[in-house]
Structure 1
């Protein structure tokens, strides 16, 4: 098949494949995946470079379909081709489709290399044998990364699978000039946040811009309130189901969130994050909790220079040193492990040169490789980098830290229901979690 969409369709229509949409990021439920045979053409993974054959081309599957990140990865592939003489055939798929169908894609005819994420969402597929370890690549690029990045790139078997490209903090973004005009001040506590929201509402604007048509943005709010109340370790234990969902600590998260619901955009369930970014830029809303990639939507240099952000404010002392800063990068499929050109491509992505190429088109994210050029960082970029560097703990994001089926099949619709009417059944969350995690 010529396109990545056709490969997705082939996987989805394959007899015997009971696809359950996994995380915002996945395609199949954990129970369904366990009984699906792996591709017969898969190679062993203990020495990924050993069986790879020389080639002058590779295929690259990308879920970075928005214009800015798409241009970023084109800059990377162009720079890699110029340096190596290797042709990269890129297949771009709409972001949400790529995430929702990733499992069927990997079980069908995947590209050699593809965009994906660190955390459990990488480890899950590594554990299922659908990825190629890239320890050979890390022998070359290891000195370019911190211990935290190395850990985030390691699978459950101790092998490296992931090459980081960038990460980005989540926080409240706002327009400086608008806040100065209105006399608003950055809140440092949750009470101050709700008081500011009430003032904004009185001023006739939407206090907290919010969009959850696609389901995943709400995870960021849940994660921050959870970490600010209960701490980073509780977040990790909850997503691993080492802590139960039907306990007071979890109920407290939703009870605290209820204080913000009256101030969030009432049309959130019908809006994409791009829609809400426009509302923020147009001064129809006061602030917006999202990742720094939100600035990709601000193409007017004057507007972009007017954007600032602040971390999610303190609720309890516990957890204030944690930041949500997901890591994006590249993986090799099992098929890609047989192509030395694909290993070379990931090695290029793990250099300052490769990440500088990406950043030349997408300055909204923070490069992860040591030596990456920061000379053109805007004040906002520097602030983002400082927040990440100063954090004691970094979470990936709920749907990257949790079991895919729990995130997409259970929490995503549960949070959308909560946003709609403020109700949540934590006992049901726990019952479903027990079933899903027991199936692993």
Structure 2
């Protein structure tokens, strides 16, 4: 079995070298999110329905759907999507099996090797390619010609090492520093442009009796986002992706500087973070007890719709090194995969074909305004100000990562980095011991790739 291509290699393959770093190239990568319906690119990835449609038109019965969207807002959004699918396909019923997001993610390997649902939620990037290469996902190449509105880049993001498609992209969202506009206006705070600005703002927030940076890492993965932001700002995008791919040492001076910088910022984070979920941390931002939060746009799920959600805004993680800048961001792509041996394959493929439509994405982003659609045909007319800003933010980024637990091997992310980062949060003084332990474990895990 070939080694799953690293996320760095995957991203490099998305665009030709002549446009990879240009404005055209950046926008081509997420053309769907920007709503630029270029006929040529659509024809490359989605054409008229062919013979594969015949397999799904006569599909009947129950399609089981394993979902990790356990929080109230996205769970309700997915319920509307499955209801609409049933309305359009009355002979097919979707039975949703919703599992706690963190549990689903940590137990995905055993789930796929057991009796998985016909269709399940997952992510693009290394983790999708990893399970496809292990033979734990179903090939959906036969229905990809029926899918319209996906750019070449999104097709590549859905393709395994063997050149076959295993993933249907659905939505994405940026990671950034989120804040309440009303709090900044009331206190006269200015959006920080540099790390020094961020520190100065944090000190002022402490004087104003606010926790500067909301923080909750009880589930292990949220703090990975802070590491990613710092690493891309300090060492650059390519180093970050090489580090995730196991090509750079974790005990080198570059990573030590990341943890050292983070240690200097920890006094401005909410304390007792290992006993707090991301939802609870988000609620402290919503309740104006914290001033900022480094998280994905799903932070808005903890804000009531209306004036509360409209008060939410964000800015990119500030610049640390002027030679590197701040134009690399994280914007994970969420979507769906089919199990290796679905009980109702025709029904599963019919459901996946529906999920690939702009109508399905439109239902989801309308019900959950903390995500944006990736299909170029999706109606963005009703987007909130936050969604519109997210589209521009993603479209203007020079480089885009997918998040640590998607950009690296799942066993390394879960078994090494979650406990390592939590150890760091408890004891940020022993950085040498921390990075040496990470590197030793990395060498053991990544050795199985060779």
Cα drift, residue 336 of structure 1: 2.2
- State the Cα deviation string for residues 2-59 of structure 1 (Å, max 9, x = none): xxxxxxxxxxxxxxxxxxxxxxxxxxxxxxxxxxxxxxxxxxxxx9999989433211
Task: Assess if the C-alpha contact under 8 Å between 2:366 and 2:382 holds in 1.
Answer: no
Task: Assess if the C-alpha contact under 8 Å between 1:48 and 1:132 holds in 2.
Answer: no
**Structural mapping, 1:4-153, within 5 Å:** 54-85=59-90, 86-141=92-147, 143-153=148-158
Quick check: 1:202 aligned with 2:207?
yes
Give the TM-score of the pair, scaled to structure 1: 0.86
For 1:151 and 1:203, the matched residues in 2 are separated by 48
For 1:54 and 1:308, the matched residues in 2 are separated by 44
Cα drift, residue 274 of structure 1: 0.6
For 2:362 and 2:89, the matched residues in 1 are separated by 17
Moved more, 94-103 or 185-194: 94-103
Task: Assess if the C-alpha contact under 8 Å between 1:212 and 1:271 holds in 2.
Answer: yes
Task: Assess if the C-alpha contact under 8 Å between 2:366 and 2:383 holds in 1.
Answer: no
For 2:201 and 2:151, the matched residues in 1 are separated by 38
Aligned to 1:181: 186
Unaligned runs of 5+ in 1: 1-46
Q: Secondary structure at the match of 1:344?
A: helix
Moved more, 298-307 or 209-218: 298-307
Give the TM-score of the pair, scaled to structure 2: 0.84
For 1:236 and 1:162, the matched residues in 2 are separated by 21
Quick check: 1:376 aligned with 2:382?
yes
For 1:307 and 1:54, the matched residues in 2 are separated by 43
Aligned to 1:239: 244
For 2:203 and 2:356, the matched residues in 1 are separated by 46
Quick check: 1:170 aligned with 2:175?
yes
Aligned to 1:29: none
**Structural mapping, 1:340-359, within 5 Å:** 340-359=346-365
Unaligned runs of 5+ in 2: 1-50
- State the Cα deviation string for residues 266-321 of structure 1 (Å, max 9, x = none): 12111001101110011111001100011011115211111111011111132522
Aligned to 1:286: 291
Cα drift, residue 146 of structure 1: 2.3
Aligned to 1:333: 339
Aligned to 1:248: 253
Aligned to 1:428: 437
Q: Secondary structure at the match of 1:211?
A: coil
RMSD: 1.8
- The number of residues matched between the two structures is 393
Task: Assess if the C-alpha contact under 8 Å between 1:163 and 1:350 holds in 2.
Answer: yes
Aligned to 1:360: 366
1:158 corresponds, among 152, 156, 163, to: 163
Task: Assess if the C-alpha contact under 8 Å between 1:168 and 1:325 holds in 2.
Answer: yes
**Structural mapping, 1:399-410, within 5 Å:** 399-410=405-416
Task: Assess if the C-alpha contact under 8 Å between 1:134 and 1:162 holds in 2.
Answer: yes
Where does structure 1 differ by over 6 angstroms across 4 or more consecutive aligned residues?
A: 47-53
Q: Secondary structure at the match of 1:258?
A: helix
Cα drift, residue 392 of structure 1: 1.9
Task: Assess if the C-alpha contact under 8 Å between 1:206 and 1:285 holds in 2.
Answer: yes
Q: Secondary structure at the match of 1:439?
A: helix
